[in-house]
């Protein structure tokens, strides 16, 4: 008892701090105690209560809410809240069955640097006069007697309380078997002093002494017990030591399917009875359950490889886990690189230069300049990549069979291959001795002759090279048709000067002169852009729900779909045959395209229950104009009423926080004010959240009533609501009080 009181006093000790240590936060600490005499005071013979949840009730609602600070009392009933901002805090507990609080709920003022202690909270209840012991039986891999992070529990081990202290599990002594994670417990123990022992499993030795434990009424002792294997293990990786430094470096890969063994008789061979293992897919290996001894680890070297690390000599001690990586390096070499299109002919693979596929490279072993039988060939891949693998050490000349239309820009590489070498970036450049022209045919909406941001390409337009310069597209002159984004190209052109012309598209005029281009060997002339401007125009905009009737398309106002707009060509206010109509899309968007230059009046076929809030637009369309944001507003001449049918728990007629909606209540608009739901009167049923809505209401004054349910009384008056054109009346909430709950 004296030890427990001393520990409580130490927990609650107030520590003085120097001025230089004062910070802007504070702390609260205290003890949750068993107030056995119910006097609200922590007396010397009263114990702490563990595993009680203490929390700071920030919003003072009497519940532990998400993000409110909480603490679980320790074995001595202590709790602590650190780093608290200055504030007034209410400290509450989550009440446990069989206990009642004997002290008032503490309300404390935390100031900067304050350390509030002895905020003790008493409970009185049915504390057991028994105690318990629990903990974990663990694999103490570092043999320090402490359950460290990463150390695992040991299952299926028998522990017992040695009541007669004879060192054996006798009949009548309480046993238990550790669980899957090594957990164990002895419950409902009379107060006494107990010795906790184990039946040690084969191959393990204890790293902690047998605990001697004093169980007092209500105590819950946590005791972890360590074991360590009296065997050891060796594991590691067999790796491809590409730089032959004997170290497993980042990027070096494991070698699979290699046999390693422990050479017990040290004769350099794998003999019967010596433990072997085969490396896994990533070179991993292990030897497990080894008696303490000194071992030599050897391998059966695979063909074409030599070891880069000496055979390890390893001292295995009880519980040891030795990590040993073993390097090999191929006694062959390899060459790799890229065959690339050296567009600037500088002999260097620059950013943006592409690989050349399907080109044959070979090692000219007899140096005669030809690919002979027996000389290793390879064909470049989709990105120009190539490789020669498994090469004996030698000096090699790398040559190519040049493709038609290309000439080399780099000398033929002479490469010295040594054992294990991986010679990369042997890049070989070619340049096309032809040229090409490319660009974009674009809609030059501002007619400035420049492809500006936002100007789109024109597809399906025929361009050609006017070889005889007669201004016509003649047989034998190279044509091309622009793609979906207006892109075009002329490829594989002999060096010459070319004029690019177009076959003029209907309703378009060219805004740039016909390009005259000088093509040289290997040239790639880009951005030869050719502008056209449409000699027609277009109008577009949005038909929108002008909820505030201000004639402006404001943020949050939505488009109106399926409304017919038309160009009133004869100005008679009607949609006549031959006048262009359009129907607004799902977001109210509309457009009139391909319009000859003129002045147009846009009108609508008025939608039911809507009035127009903007005048009919009058628009002047000029060649190539794209007139946007011609927005036309409508406002509904109907309205709606929305609200919640709620459970008015405090019957104050107000929807308070925490009060829930009531579902399946029938509400109706009492058009004849007879307080009955008659045929033809609008009715609705509240949803799972109590929400209801009456929509598409003509302007009027409405009384909202409910069909009363048994057991409920209405706490709010029946709402009387004025509905104006376009109004959206929310929060018309109706409360009920349950008479039974």
Per-residue pLDDT at 96: 84
Q: For residues 703 and 669, is the Cβ–Cβ distance under 8 A? A: yes
Half-sphere exposure of 382 (CA within 13 A, CB side): 0
Rounded Cα gap, residues 93 and 51, in angstroms: 11
Per-residue pLDDT at 384: 96
3 state SS of 140? coil
Per-residue pLDDT at 374: 94
3 state SS of 491? strand
DSSP states of 304-338: TEEESSPPPEEEE-TT-EEE--EEEEESSEEEEEE
Query: Does 116 share its domain with 16?
Result: yes
Q: At a CB cut-off of 8 Å and minimum separation 6, what does 27 contact?
A: 80, 81, 82, 83, 84, 110, 114, 115, 116
Q: How far is CA 302 from CA 18, 238, 257, 263, 388, in A?
A: 70, 12, 9, 18, 21
Residue 281 zone, left/alpha/beta (φ > 0; ψ -120 to 50; rest) = alpha
For the chain, the straight-line distance linking the first and the last C-alpha, in angstroms and rounded, comes to: 49
Q: For residues 124 and 33, is the Cβ–Cβ distance under 8 A? A: no
0.85 exceeded by pTM? no
Rounded Cα gap, residues 160 and 585, in angstroms: 80
Query: Does 94 share its domain with 192?
Result: no
Question: Looking at 384, 404, 432, which one is the last position of a domain?
Answer: 432
Query: Does 483 share its domain with 501?
Result: yes
Rounded Cα gap, residues 110 and 85, in angstroms: 7
Query: Does 107 share its domain with 8?
Result: yes
Q: For residues 431 and 409, is the Cβ–Cβ distance under 8 A? A: yes
Q: Which residue has the tokens 């949803």?
A: 687
Q: Which helix (H) or strand (E) holds 11?
A: helix 2-11
Rounded Cα gap, residues 115 and 94, in angstroms: 24
Question: Looking at 603, 633, 663, which one is the last position of a domain?
Answer: 633
Numbers of helices and strands, H then E, in the chain = 1, 63
Per-residue tokens: 227: 């074991």
Query: Does 659 share its domain with 729?
Result: yes
**What domain range includes position 424?**
333-432
Query: What is the domain-level CATH number for residue 160?
Result: 2.60.40.10
Query: Does 304 share its domain with 344?
Result: no
Query: Does 445 share its domain with 547?
Result: no
Query: Does 414 share its domain with 352?
Result: yes
Per-residue pLDDT at 126: 58
Per-residue pLDDT at 530: 96
Query: Does 213 share its domain with 237?
Result: no
Per-residue tokens: 546: 């002008």
Rounded Cα gap, residues 631 and 638, in angstroms: 22
Question: Exposed/middle/buried for 725, CB within 10 Å: 0-12, 13-18, 19+?
Answer: middle
Q: At a CB cut-off of 8 Å and minimum separation 6, what does 528 contact?
A: 437, 438, 439, 500, 515, 517
Per-residue pLDDT at 137: 94
Question: Looking at 432, 454, 477, which one is the last position of a domain?
Answer: 432
Q: For residues 406 and 433, is the Cβ–Cβ distance under 8 A? A: yes
Query: Does 222 share its domain with 236?
Result: no
- Averages of pLDDT over runs of 10 residues in the chain (741 residues) are 38 38 83 87 90 94 93 94 95 86 92 95 73 92 91 94 95 94 91 93 86 87 90 92 90 94 95 95 94 94 84 89 91 92 90 95 96 96 95 94 85 90 93 89 91 95 96 95 97 92 88 94 91 89 92 95 96 96 97 94 90 94 90 90 96 95 97 96 97 94 95 95 90 91 59
Q: For residues 434 and 521, is the Cβ–Cβ distance under 8 A? A: yes
Per-residue pLDDT at 741: 59
Query: Does 643 share its domain with 685?
Result: yes
Number of domains in the chain: 7
């Amino acid at each position: 008892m004296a030890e427990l009181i001393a520990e409580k006093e130490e927990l609650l000790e107030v520590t003085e701090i120097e001025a230089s240590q004062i910070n802007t936060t504070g702390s609260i600490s205290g003890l949750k105690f068993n107030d056995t005499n119910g006097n609200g005071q922590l007396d010397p013979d009263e114990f702490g209560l563990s595993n009680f949840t203490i929390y700071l009730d920030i919003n003072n609602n009497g519940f532990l809410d998400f993000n409110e600070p909480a603490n679980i009392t320790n074995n001595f009933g202590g709790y602590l809240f650190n780093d608290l901002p200055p504030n007034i805090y209410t400290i509450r507990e989550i009440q446990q069955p069989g206990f009642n609080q004997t002290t008032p709920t503490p309300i404390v003022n935390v100031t900067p640097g304050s350390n509030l202690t002895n905020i003790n909270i008493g409970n009185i209840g049915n504390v057991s006069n028994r105690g318990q012991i629990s903990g974990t039986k663990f694999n103490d891999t570092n043999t320090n007697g402490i359950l460290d992070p990463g150390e695992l529990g040991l299952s299926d081990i028998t522990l017992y309380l040695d009541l007669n202290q004879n060192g054996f599990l006798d009949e009548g002594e309480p046993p238990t078997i550790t669980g899957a994670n090594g957990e164990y417990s002895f419950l409902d123990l009379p107060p006494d002093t107990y010795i906790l022992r184990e039946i040690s499993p084969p191959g393990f030795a204890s790293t902690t002494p047998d605990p001697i434990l004093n169980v007092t009424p209500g105590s819950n002792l946590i005791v972890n017990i360590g074991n360590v294997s009296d065997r050891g293990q060796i594991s590691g990786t067999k790796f491809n030591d590409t730089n032959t430094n004997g170290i497993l470096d980042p990027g070096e890969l494991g070698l699979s399917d290699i046999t390693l063994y422990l050479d017990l008789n040290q004769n350099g061979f794998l003999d019967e009875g010596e433990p072997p293992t085969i490396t896994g897919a990533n070179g991993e290996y292990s030897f497990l359950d080894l008696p303490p001894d000194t071992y030599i680890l050897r391998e059966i070297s695979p063909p074409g490889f030599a070891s880069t690390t000496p055979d390890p000599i390893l001292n295995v001690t009880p519980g040891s886990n030795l990590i040993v990586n073993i390097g090999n390096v191929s006694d062959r070499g390899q060459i790799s690189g890229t065959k690339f299109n050296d567009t600037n002919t500088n002999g260097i693979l620059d950013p943006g230069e592409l690989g050349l596929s399907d080109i044959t490279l070979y090692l000219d072993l007899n140096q005669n300049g030809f690919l002979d039988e027996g000389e290793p060939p390879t064909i470049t891949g989709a990105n120009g990549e190539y490789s020669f693998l498994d090469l004996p050490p030698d000096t090699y000349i790398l040559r190519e069979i040049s493709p038609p239309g290309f000439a080399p820009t780099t000398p033929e590489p002479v490469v010295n291959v040594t054992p294990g070498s991986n010679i990369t970036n042997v890049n070989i450049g070619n340049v096309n001795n032809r040229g090409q022209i490319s660009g974009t045919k674009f809609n030059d909406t501002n007619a400035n002759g420049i492809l500006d941001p936002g100007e789109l390409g024109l597809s399906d337009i025929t361009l050609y090279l006017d070889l005889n310069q007669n201004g016509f597209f003649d047989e034998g002159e190279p044509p091309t048709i622009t793609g979906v984004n207006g892109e075009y190209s002329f490829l594989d052109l002999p060096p010459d000067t070319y004029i690019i012309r177009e076959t003029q598209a209907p309703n378009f005029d060219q805004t740039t002169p016909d390009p005259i281009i000088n093509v040289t060997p290997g040239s790639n002339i880009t951005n030869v852009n050719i502008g056209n401007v449409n000699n027609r125009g277009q109008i577009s905009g949005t038909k929108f729900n002008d909820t505030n009737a201000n004639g402006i398309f404001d943020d949050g106002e939505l488009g109106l779909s399926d409304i017919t707009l038309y160009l009133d060509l004869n100005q008679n206010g009607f949609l006549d045959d031959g006048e262009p109509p359009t129907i607004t899309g799902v977001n109210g968007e509309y457009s009139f395209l391909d319009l000859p230059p003129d002045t147009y009046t846009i009108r609508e076929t008025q939608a039911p229950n809507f009035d127009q809030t903007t005048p009919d637009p009058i628009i002047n369309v000029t060649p190539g104009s794209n007139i946007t944001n011609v927005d036309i507003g409508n406002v509904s001449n109907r309205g709606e009423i929305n609200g919640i049918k709620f459970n008015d728990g405090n019957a104050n007629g107000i929807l308070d926080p925490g009060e829930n909606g009531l579902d399946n209540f029938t509400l109706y608009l009492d058009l004849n004010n007879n307080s009955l739901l008659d045929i033809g009167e609008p009715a609705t049923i509240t949803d799972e959240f109590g929400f209801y809505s009456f929509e598409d209401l003509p302007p009027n004054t409405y009384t909202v009533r409910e069909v009363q349910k048994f057991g409920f009384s209405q706490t709010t008056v029946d709402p009387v609501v004025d509905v104006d054109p376009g109004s959206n009346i929310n929060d018309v909430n109706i409360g009920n009080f349950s008479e039974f709950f």
